[in-house]
Each structure stands twice: as C-alpha cells, then as structure tokens.
C-alpha cells in the first residue's frame, strides 16, 4: 500500500525508463555468445508477437445514469491475489479510500460517497456472486459503515466475512471464485466537482494493448470502428463512451489495457465568459469614402483575474493565439447576469485575427487583453437586439468557445495513450480465452455476439465548474466642480461633483447590486471638498453618496 499525499517535491524518473514497456531481449534465440567476455550477443532471434485481427466498436452518447466512472475523491476496488481483474482464489480484499476526515493520514469518513458500489465476480460454476450496493446521499459516510454494508451484501450472496480492519474488508468464498472487475457507478446528478471528460463534438479513437505474463506488448492495436464522435452538449455535462471488444484475445495475452487517442477534432478548446466586448471606431458605412474595415474586440482580461482569485502560481487558465484559432459565441449574459440564449439555428463563429493590448472604441481608449475579429456586420444587423458590440452593459459578457482544429495523422500513424484500468483475460493461453469487461464480460464461445463492454468515459480534459470573474470599466465625464459655501453650521467650502451618467448607470434602473449617482453636499453629508484628503464615500445607503449599495 502506497499513500500519496502530494505534499512535497518528489524525485523524477527518467521519461525513457518510465515509458518503456519492455526490454529488447528476444523471447527465443538459436545462439548466444559473450563477445569480449561482457557483451551479450544473440543470433536467430524471435521478437514480439503476431498482430491480432481486431474488432472494436466505440460509441458515445449523452450521460445516461447510472454508469461507471472514476470519481474524484473516491477510490473503491476489490482485489484477489493482488489483482483487481481476472484473478481466481478463495479470498478477496475490498478497499475504500477518498477525501474527507482522516486519522493519521488514513480516511475514516468520506465526503464524496454517493454512488453504486459494484463488485463483479462468479463462482466455479459461473454463477454471479457479485453485488451492487447503492448509497444515493451526498451526506458524509464513515468508511466502516460503507464496508459493513458491502460485507452484508456479499454475505447475502454466500460470502463469509474474514475481517474488517480500517479501510480493508477481507471476504472468503468456499469453492473458489473469479474476480472480474469492481468500481463505482454514478447517478446522473452527482458530479459537481472536477472530473476528466471527453470534449463535445469531437472525434476520438480507442485501441488495445495486450500484455503477456511478464508484461511484454507489441503496442497499440485498433480497428476502424474504434473511432467515434461525441455528441453535442445540449445542456448535458459530458458524454459517456462505450467500447465493445468483439475479437478473441491473442494466445499470449494475460491482461490488456484500453488506449485512447488525442482529440482528433480540436488542438485546443476553452469555454469562457468574456469580460467585455467592443467595436472599433472606424466607420462601417459602405458609402463612407473614408471607410476602413472594422473590428470587434472581446476582452478576456478576467482570465488573469481568475488565476489571481484562486491564488494560482501558474496560469491554470490561459489563452495564447496561434494562426487558425476561432471563436464561437454561445450565448450572452445581460447586466443582471441572466443568460440570454441565441437562436439555435444561428451559429456565430469567426476567425480570430490575433490578440491586442490596447483599442480605441467609440467612447474611449481601453487597455487589456482583447481577442480581435473582423466586425460581423451581417450577423449584428440581423440580430442587433441580441448580438452586438456597442459597449452596452447588456452586451459585455458572452459565453465563448475558443478553439483550434487538429491536424490529423492517419489511423496507422496515430499515437495512443494509456488511461484507466487494466483488465484480465479469462482462460489465458487457450482457444477459449476471452476478455473480461467492466459492464459485461465476453463470451468464450460467442465473442462477437456477446462482446466485452467497458465504459471509457474518462477523457483528455477537465470538466469543471468555475466562478468566472467579470468587471465593468466605467469611464464617465465630470462636469465643472461648483465650489460654494456649505449649508451647515461650520460654513465650510465644498465641491459638487456632477457626473454625466449613461442610461444604464442611472438610479432606479438596472442593477441589483449598486447604483451610481451624482454626489452633492448637504447638511447630512457636508464632507465634499476640493481638499485632496477628501474623497467620495463608497457603499452608502442614501442617495447623497456616489455609490449606493443595495
């Protein structure tokens, strides 16, 4: 058992050693010699294994609970003889760890426990002796209580409890059993934290690598139907994916692992909320002889504000322009932060021309980090009440999708990556070998008709809810400062600050958070002065102050 706390700087392993799956020692050789007494030479060598004729089918859909998922902050698994899939014996250990209350670094209470706890196992007569224990509440759950419930469910299937010590439950089954798999199924509404997920509207491909008894493999093997496209979001959190394995495993295989390609549609993708949106000051009238092409500018300054807010020492969220980038406007948020969706038949998708740090708008000059696009004149004209860049507070915050398309390699040149668990091979080394799955195990006699099913929902990016910071940059003109004697007992001199406010900044108007007002001196508020030590009072509850907070 290794306890990893991520609380220090660890020694690094050379990436060449870390990623090496096998050595180059041949499996068979006709001759061997020690050249110079210390250099080993082989002749007539046999390396590797023959390729397998693969029959993989991948598919994707919107989340339909319950489904298997590696839930953040929760680790539940069963093992037999040190393996969690494909091992046979008479004794099984069930282990539970996760985030929550700990004693001496070991979790005792889980704060993320909801789910269906699954153990797939069969007895020596191929009878199902596995269990599914459901805990639907998000209320913290003691590890001892969870393991007690799992033990009770297993006892009802003929198991005997050997011991329950800390985070480890030991069970036995007279006559022997084979452990297929274990894991947690999730309810549809239980994902509220950070998870790995596949991207919407994206292409991927799965593959398999087989390992022999000493861990040798010839690498990724796949088929055309292992490629798939994820659906559009339409309000769902992320897509669930399924791999069906219909071919028989090779004779040398003892276990196997699922591999995943990178996203074959997007090189980059970031969903964000713009901090502001403006247009250039150039004339957009085609009859104006001085007309030059106009631009729209979308501020993403709040990316830096977000990183500062979470006290990040590096750019957790970032955007750097490269040629080929595009921006898609998904919906907007008005000045009250109410979502205003676009017509589902209209797509606002444009080429990003670059980023710029200072712009000139019809009202003022501004600095920051702006994404520059050609002004979408036709789209603004067609839907100006719901899509424009005139600087109004109701048209500042857009939900945007920043992306860049991938340059795809051919299927034979694609790189695949390990992820998730390894699974065992049943009856390894025989003609009746079969793939042990997660949801379903393959039939040894009818592998194509009854394939192995494995959920591969863990993807190559984060799905995470973020509180995005947004700000308003107010620039308004002040009138002449009228200096006069205050109407108070001291008869001091005060200044009247006259602000020229835009309609959406006026009192009784638009914001549920604050209102801006002209500030004048009065008997109740006589402290306005041209002296530099005086300044407008903020966040008061009367109209005599510059900012009136609700």
| pLDDT band (50, 70, 90) for residue 71 | confident
Token look-up 């668990």 returns 421
Alpha-carbon distance 76 to 161, whole Å?
18
Report how far residue 62's alpha carbon sits from residue 157's, in angstroms, rounded to the nearest whole number.
34
Task: Please tell me the predicted confidence (pLDDT) of residue 138.
Answer: 80
The pLDDT confidence band at residue 503, using thresholds 50, 70 and 90, is very low
| pLDDT class of 420 with cuts at 50, 70, 90 | confident
What DSSP character marks residue 99? S
Q: How many Cβ atoms from other residues are within 10 Å of residue 118's Cβ?
A: 21
Q: Which of 60, 359, 37 is nearest to 201 (CA)?
A: 60
Cis amide bond preceding 66, omega within 30: yes
Rounded-to-5 percentages of helix, strand, coil across the chain: 5, 40, 50
Percent of the chain with pLDDT over 70: 79
pLDDT score, position 13: 78
- Burial class from Cβ neighbours inside 10 Å (0-12, 13-18, 19+) for residue 55 reads middle
Please state, in angstroms and as integers, the Cα–Cα distance from residue 150 to each residue in 113, 154, 183, 281, following that order.
13, 6, 13, 68
Measure Cα distances from 250 to 179, 255, 283, 417, 430 in Å: 21, 10, 69, 21, 9
Question: Would you say 276 and 393 are in contact if contact means Cβ atoms under 8 Å apart?
Answer: no
CA distance 511 to 503: 12
For the cut 70, the answer to whether the pLDDT of residue 453 exceeds it is yes
Assess whether pLDDT exceeds 50 at residue 279. Answer: yes
Distance CA 452, CA 58 (A): 12
Question: Can you read off the two tokens belonging to residue 379?
Answer: 């789209």
SS3 47: coil
pLDDT of residue 499: 52
Q: Element (H or E) spanning 247, and its range? A: none
List of residues 6+ apart from 433 with CB closer than 8 A = 248, 249, 251, 253, 425, 426, 427, 444
Specify the pLDDT at position 92.
98
Pick the residue with more confidence: 181 or 22?
Answer: 181
Answer yes or no: is pLDDT of 133 > 70.
yes
d(CA 345, CA 362): 31
Residues in the chain: 550
Helix (H) or strand (E) holding 121: strand 115-123
Per the CB < 8 A criterion, the answer to whether 353 and 364 are in contact is: no
Average pLDDT, the chain: 83
Of 130, 437, 26, whose CA–CA distance to 255 is shortest? 437
Q: Does 206 have pLDDT greater than 60?
A: yes
pLDDT at 309: 80
CB 416 within 8 A of CB 452: no
Q: Round to whole Å and give the CA distance between 260 and 197.
A: 12
Query: In angstroms, rounded to a whole number, what is the distance separating the alpha carbons of residues 272 and 275?
Result: 9
Q: Are 389 and 279 in contact (CB under 8 A)?
A: yes
Residue 91: pLDDT over 90: yes
Let me know: does 497 contact 519? Beta carbons within 8 Å. Answer: yes
Model confidence at 281: pLDDT above 50: yes
Nearest to residue 504, comparing CAs of 375, 363, 367?
A: 363
User: Which of 19-23, 71-75, 154-158, 457-461 ranks highest by mean pLDDT?
Assistant: 154-158
pLDDT at 204: 93
pLDDT of residue 540: 54
16-25, 106-115, 420-429: lowest mean pLDDT where? 16-25
**pLDDT reading at 508 higher than 50:** no
- In angstroms and rounded to an integer, the radius of gyration of the C-alpha atoms of the chain is 32
Q: Evaluate if residue 447 carries a pLDDT over 90.
A: yes
> Can you read off the two tokens belonging to residue 81?
């003889």
The lowest-confidence range among 10-19, 127-136, 185-194, 342-351 is: 185-194
pLDDT for 136-166, tens place per residue?
A: 888 999 999 999 999 999 999 999 999 999 9
């Amino acid at each position: 058992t290794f306890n990893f706390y991520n609380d220090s700087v660890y020694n690094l392993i050379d990436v060449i050693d870390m990623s090496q799956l096998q050595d180059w020692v041949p499996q068979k050789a006709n001759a061997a010699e020690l050249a110079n007494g210390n250099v080993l030479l082989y002749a007539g060598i046999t390396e590797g294994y023959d390729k397998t004729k693969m029959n993989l089918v991948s598919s994707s859909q919107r989340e339909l609970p319950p489904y298997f998922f590696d839930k953040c902050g929760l680790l539940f698994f069963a093992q037999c003889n040190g393996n969690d899939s494909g091992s046979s014996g008479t004794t099984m250990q069930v282990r539970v760890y996760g985030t929550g209350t700990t004693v001496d670094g070991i979790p005792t209470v889980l704060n993320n426990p909801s789910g269906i706890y699954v153990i797939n196992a069969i007895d020596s007569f191929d009878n199902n002796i596995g269990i599914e224990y459901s805990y639907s509440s998000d209320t913290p759950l003691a590890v001892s209580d969870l393991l007690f419930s799992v033990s009770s469910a297993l006892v009802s299937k003929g198991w005997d409890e050997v011991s329950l010590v800390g985070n480890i439950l030991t069970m036995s089954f007279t006559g022997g059993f084979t452990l297929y798999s274990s894991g947690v199924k999730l309810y549809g509404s239980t994902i509220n934290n950070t998870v790995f997920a596949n991207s919407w509207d994206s292409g991927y491909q799965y593959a398999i690598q087989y390992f022999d008894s000493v861990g040798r493999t010839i690498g990724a093997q796949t088929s055309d139907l292992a490629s798939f496209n994820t659906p559009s979001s339409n309000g769902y959190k992320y897509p669930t994916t399924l791999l069906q394995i219909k071919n028989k495993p090779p004779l040398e295989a003892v276990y196997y692992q699922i591999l995943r390609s990178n996203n074959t549609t997007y090189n980059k993708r970031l969903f964000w909320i713009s901090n502001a949106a403006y247009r250039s000051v150039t004339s957009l009238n085609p009859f104006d002889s001085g007309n030059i092409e106009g631009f729209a500018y979308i501020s993403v300054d709040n990316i830096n504000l977000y990183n500062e807010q979470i006290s990040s020492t590096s750019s957790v969220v970032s955007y750097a322009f490269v040629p080929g980038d595009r921006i898609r406007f998904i919906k907007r948020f008005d000045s009250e932060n109410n979502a205003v969706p676009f017509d589902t038949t209209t797509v606002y998708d444009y080429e990003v021309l670059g980023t710029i740090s200072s712009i000139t708008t019809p009202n003022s000059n501004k600095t920051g980090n702006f994404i520059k696009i050609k002004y979408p004149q036709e789209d603004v004209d067609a839907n100006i009440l719901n899509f424009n860049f005139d600087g109004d507070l109701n048209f500042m915050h857009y939900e945007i999708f920043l992306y860049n398309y991938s340059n795809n390699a051919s299927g034979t040149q694609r790189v695949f990556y390990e992820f998730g668990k390894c699974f065992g091979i049943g009856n390894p080394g025989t003609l009746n070998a079969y793939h042990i799955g997660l949801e379903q195990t393959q039939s040894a006699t009818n592998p194509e008709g009854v394939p192995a099913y494995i959920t591969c929902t863990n993807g190559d990016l984060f799905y995470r809810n973020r509180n995005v910071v947004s700000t308003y940059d107010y620039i308004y003109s002040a009138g002449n400062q009228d200096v006069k004697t205050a109407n108070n007992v001291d008869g001091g001199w005060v200044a009247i600050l006259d602000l020229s406010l835009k309609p959406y900044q006026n009192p009784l108007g638009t914001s549920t958070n604050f209102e801006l007002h002209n500030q004048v001196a009065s008997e109740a508020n006589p402290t306005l002065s041209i002296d530099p030590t005086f300044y407008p009072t903020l966040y008061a509850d009367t109209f005599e102050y510059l900012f009136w907070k609700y």
